[in-house]
Amino acid sequence: MSDLHLLNLGEDGSRVVFLHGLFGQGRNWMTVAKALADRHRVTLVDLPNHGRSSWTEHVDYVDMAAQVAAVLEADGPATVVGHSMGGKVAMVLALTRPELVERLVVADMSPVDYGDEAEATGGVLGYAQILLDLDLSQVHRREDADRLLAERVPNTTIRSFLLQNLRRDGDAWRWAANLEAIVRDGSTLAAWPETALTGRSPYDGKVLWLAGETSSYVQPAYDEAMRRWFPHYRKVTIKGAGHWLHSEKPDVFIAALQRFLGDA
């Protein structure tokens, strides 16, 4: 059994499991989950080193996919929806344990090694070091952290998202995300586990590939890699959305997901 923290909604219908991105947590999907819970059994997962789930020694996509597989083994196959880092976890899960993934939704992520070429990728990973550098001894209230972080993260929306990781521990504050591991294994998170997937067959199920119009994570150059691993994909670009497309355009995201699930 996996020790991942789970939040479940809905009592009937097929299963839909959501995997969040870097610095996220399962409840980030709550708006989408509530829209589906009348027709589906929804599970929101806190991935390892995030939210209320346990920390691990290393941050690794194959290991994260194995832990999610343990969740699915308990109750049977599901449609798996993954955003950003969670998108890579979902793709690796579909390739390593295809019998557990009925359908796959990949939100603003590609099966590629981004390296240094995607500015947005480097920026997101860079937030781990920024948070790690924040002097929590100067934080007495959450507003203090917001003020200190504003010096390096001026975007209010991104700053608010990052500060969801701040937890009070007695009289002190700590980070819920395993920032040290994320910084150390940042190149692994930016990469795609090609070697670990050597010899694996492409995933034969249906795939919805959602992209934010202004995001750099999904580009025409990545279509070949997606087709190689997921030949039955359909790509949909959400206009006016960036990387966090499910929070920037929730109605459009939900409508696309409902169509894919056969609800609309």
Question: Does 107 share its domain with 227?
Answer: yes
Q: Which residue, 184, 218, 233, sits at the end of a domain?
A: 184
Q: Give the distance between the most distant pair of CA atoms in the chain.
A: 52
Q: Is the pLDDT of residue 147 over 50?
A: yes
Q: 61 and 179, same structural domain?
A: no
Co-location of 172 and 87 in the same domain: no
Is residue 219 a contact partner of residue 226, using CB atoms and an 8 Å limit?
Answer: no
DSSP E strand stretches across the chain:
6-9, 15-19, 41-45, 78-83, 101-107, 166-169, 172-175, 207-212, 233-238
> Is-catalytic flag, 243?
yes
- Same domain? 27 vs 93: yes
Domain containing 230 — which CATH number? Answer: 3.40.50.1820
97 domain residue, yes or no: yes
Q: Is the pLDDT of residue 74 over 50?
A: yes
- The Cα–Cα gap between 6 and 25 comes to 10
Judged by phi (left if over 0) then psi (alpha if -120 to 50, else beta), residue 233 lies in beta
248 and 221 inside one domain: yes
Mean pLDDT of the chain: 93
**Catalytically annotated residue among 14, 84, 110, 247:** 84
CB under 8 Å to 148, separation ≥6 — which residues? 134, 135, 138, 139
Instruction: Decide if 180 is catalytic.
Output: yes
Residue 153 covered by a domain: yes
pLDDT band for position 1 (cuts 50, 70, 90): very low
Are both 108 and 215 inside the same structural domain?
A: yes
Residue 214, in any domain of the structure:
yes
Predicted confidence at residue 122, as pLDDT, reads 44
14 and 44 inside one domain? yes
Per the structure, the complete domain to which residue 22 belongs is given by 6-114+191-261
Query: Quick one: 24 and 100 in the same domain?
Result: yes
Q: Please tell me whether residues 243 and 198 are part of one structural domain.
A: yes
Residue with token string 């150390």: 184
Bridging pattern class, strands 166-169 and 172-175: antiparallel
The residue from 184, 204, 233 where one domain ends is 184
Among 40, 83, 243, 246, which one carries the catalytic annotation? 243
pLDDT of residue 116: 57
Q: Extract the tokens encoding 92.
A: 């690796």
- Same domain for 70 and 197, yes or no, is yes
CA–CA separation, 156 vs 158, rounded Å? 6
Residue 12 burial (10 A CB sphere; 0-12, 13-18, 19+): exposed
- Residue 156 inside a domain? The answer is yes
Q: What is the pLDDT of residue 138?
A: 93
pLDDT, tens only, 159-185: 999 999 999 988 889 999 999 999 999
Q: What is the amino acid identity at position 87?
A: G
Question: Is position 83 annotated as part of the catalytic site?
Answer: no
Same-domain pairing of 85 and 198: yes
* 227 part of a folded domain: yes
Domains in the chain, number: 2
Catalytic residue among 180, 194, 213, 232: 180
pLDDT tens for 18-45 read 999 999 999 999 999 999 999 999 999 9
Q: Please report the pLDDT score of residue 2 as a whole number.
A: 62
23 belongs to a structural domain: yes
Alpha-carbon span 56 to 20, nearest angstrom: 17
Tell me, yes or no, whether 18 and 99 share the same domain: yes
Q: How far apart are CA 209 and CA 234, in angstroms?
A: 6
**Domain presence at residue 163:** yes
Given a contact cutoff of 8 angstroms between Cβ atoms, the answer to whether 208 and 94 are in contact is: no
For residue range 87-124, what is the model confidence (pLDDT) as tens digits? 999 999 999 999 999 999 999 999 999 985 444 344 67
pTM of the complete model = 0.94
- Within a domain: residue 1? no
